Amino acid sequence: MNTTYSFEIYNSASLLPLEWNSLAIENIFLTREYLEVLEKSSPVNMICHFIGIYEEAKLVGIALTQFLFAEKLESFGERDKCLKTSVRNFAFKNFASHVLFVGNNMLTGQNAFAFDKSIKDFNAIKTLQRAINQLKKELKANGKKVHITSIKDFTETEIKPLQAEFKNNYTFSTQPNMVFDIDKNWKTEQDYIDALSKKYRDQYKRARKKSEGIEKQKMSLADIKKYEDVIYDLYFHVAKNAPFNTFFLARNHFSFFKEIMKDNFLFYGYFLDGQLIGFNTLIKNGNVMDTYFLGYDESIQREKMLYLNMLYDMIAYSIKKGFSTIVFARTALEIKSSVGAKPIKMYGLITHSNALINHNIGRFFNYLEPKTEWQERNPFK
């Protein structure tokens, strides 16, 4: 018997069917609540769509897409303000300024879709492909032609069924996802410190000594709102110095996140002499702790080793609360490696609407996503 699958494209989280969350049990980043946060406080240059896949009347699959249009972006990374940047920006405006991500460009890992256990992968993926093509048609009808379509972030095994279905796509690999596995026997931060080799125990002590005078505070919704402007400046400082940026968060992003996600979203402020000088955020996702955005004052960051101290704080908290894994995501690979995170290679698929460019998309992609050289560390005995 040939089952027919259909799809529905939703352009607002408020329209999602009631049973949506029954498919998002294993991933907080596909729940209606999180998608509402994403929609209501998304970056200025992002439009979200949500796809429901149906087997007759039953919802059997859910997916997230983000359409990013670069016209509203000031910065593609401020570091290389030279010819290369202007060439890259020209290439971007004309060939890559409209990107449709299937998945979540603000997170690392498989946050693109979830399917009911009963549904065959290839059926679900075929239907998803039809939905993506339909969405592209609708965007084009509204004057937004999609240049690049990208499905991201998958491990080597997760990408296989997608490669089989999306045949004219180029498989790329970006910076790895830095993942920290918590030893089952650790119950306290001290257990972690004891597991470090002497060199890295010394690094830990040095960082902790440097941070004297800094007070860390768990911030409530009211606190986040009170410091909203300072928080945004600290975030923006870090974001605009990243080598490559496709979006900037909305100013109300963190307060809105806290309001909707409550205790699943943690916001920690770091204060020096009564001034907020840095913050980090964490999201509880089942027994996995996802690190989210952070910000800091660069001058104090260096002197106080603030970033490294934040990493140690996240590890300590996650051990204490019994989490099994911390997702440290991309960027700052070496320093994350020095606290014990391990790289997991991540893959995605990319295709361009222009056949000629698509033929050379591998080269084009490597130009847009500069390679990072880094040295892996092992801090444990």
Residues 201-245 have pLDDT tens digits of 999 999 999 999 999 999 999 999 999 999 999 999 998 887 667
Q: Are 125 and 165 in contact (CB under 8 A)?
A: yes
- Is 274 in the same domain as 360? no
Indicate the residue type of 218: K
pLDDT above 60: residue 328: yes
Average confidence (pLDDT) over 28-38 = 97
Q: 202 and 322 in one domain?
A: yes
What pLDDT sits at residue 331? 86
pLDDT tens digit string along 170-209?
999 988 999 999 999 999 999 999 999 999 999 999 999 9
Nearest residue to 362 (alpha-carbon basis) of 374, 375, 348: 348
Mean pLDDT value across the chain: 91
- Which residue from 163, 112, 171 is spatially nearest to 366, judged by alpha carbons? 171
- Phi, psi of 348, rounded to the nearest 5 degrees: -150, 170
Report, as an integer, the average pLDDT of 312-318. Answer: 98
Residue 366 has pLDDT above 70, yes or no: yes
Whole-angstrom Cα distance, residue 380 to residue 198?
A: 9
Lowest mean pLDDT among 74-83, 156-165, 198-207: 74-83
What dihedral angle (degrees, nearest 10) is formed by the CA atoms of 152, 156, 161, 163? 70
**pLDDT > 60? residue 1:** no
pLDDT for the residue numbered 30: 98
**Under 8 Å CB-to-CB from 2, ≥6 apart: which residues?**
none
Q: What is the mean pLDDT of residues 133-146?
A: 96
Residues 310 and 184 in one domain: yes
* Residue 79 confidence class, pLDDT cut points 50, 70, 90: very low
Mean pLDDT confidence for 284-303: 95
Q: Where are the beta strands (DSSP E) in the chain?
A: 5-10, 46-55, 58-69, 98-102, 113-115, 148-154, 170-173, 177-181, 214-218, 265-272, 275-285, 288-296, 325-329, 342-344, 347-352
127: buried, middle or exposed (CB in 10 Å: 19+, 13-18, 0-12)? Answer: buried
Summarize pLDDT for 105-122 with one digit per residue, the tens.
Answer: 999 999 999 999 988 878
Is residue 62 a part of any domain in this protein? yes
Domain count, the chain: 2
Q: Same domain, yes or no, for 219 and 338?
A: yes
- The answer to whether residues 336 and 350 belong to one domain is no
pLDDT exceeds cutoff 60 at 76: no
Dist CA 171 CA 362 (whole Å): 8
Query: How many whole angstroms separate alpha carbon 371 and alpha carbon 368?
Result: 9
What is the widest separation between alpha-carbon atoms in the chain?
70
Report DSSP state, residue 175. Answer: S
Residue 282 lies in a domain: yes
Q: pLDDT for 2-15, tens place per residue? A: 578 999 999 999 99
My answer on whether 149 and 72 are in the same domain is yes
193 occurs within a structural domain: yes
Q: Would residue 37 count as lying in a domain?
A: yes
Query: Same domain for 126 and 213?
Result: no
CA dist., res. 276 & res. 318, Å (int): 23
User: Are residues 160 and 250 located together in one domain of the fold?
Assistant: no
CA 146/CA 352 separation, integer angstroms = 8
Residues 6+ apart with CB under 8 A from 355: none
| Domain membership flag for residue 374 | no
Query: How many Å apart are CA 195 and CA 174, to the nearest integer?
Result: 30
pTM above 0.75, yes or no: yes
CATH number (domain holding residue 182): 3.40.630.30
Unique residue bearing structure tokens 């080269």: 363
Are 233 and 288 in the same domain? yes
Stretch 59-67: mean pLDDT, rounded? 97
User: Across residues 150-164, what is the average pLDDT?
Assistant: 94
How long, in residues, is the chain?
381
Please give the residue range of the domain that contains residue 329.
Answer: 177-344
Cβ distance 219 to 268 under 8 Å?
A: yes
Same domain, 185 and 290: yes
Residue 54 pLDDT > 60: yes
The 3-class SS string of 10-37 reads ECCHHHCCHHHHHHCCCCHHHCHHHHHH
DSSP structure string for 67-101: EEEGGG-S-S-SS--SHHHHHHHHHIIIIISEEEE
pLDDT of residue 363: 84
pLDDT of residue 49: 98
pLDDT of 308 above 70: yes
pLDDT at position 74 is: 58
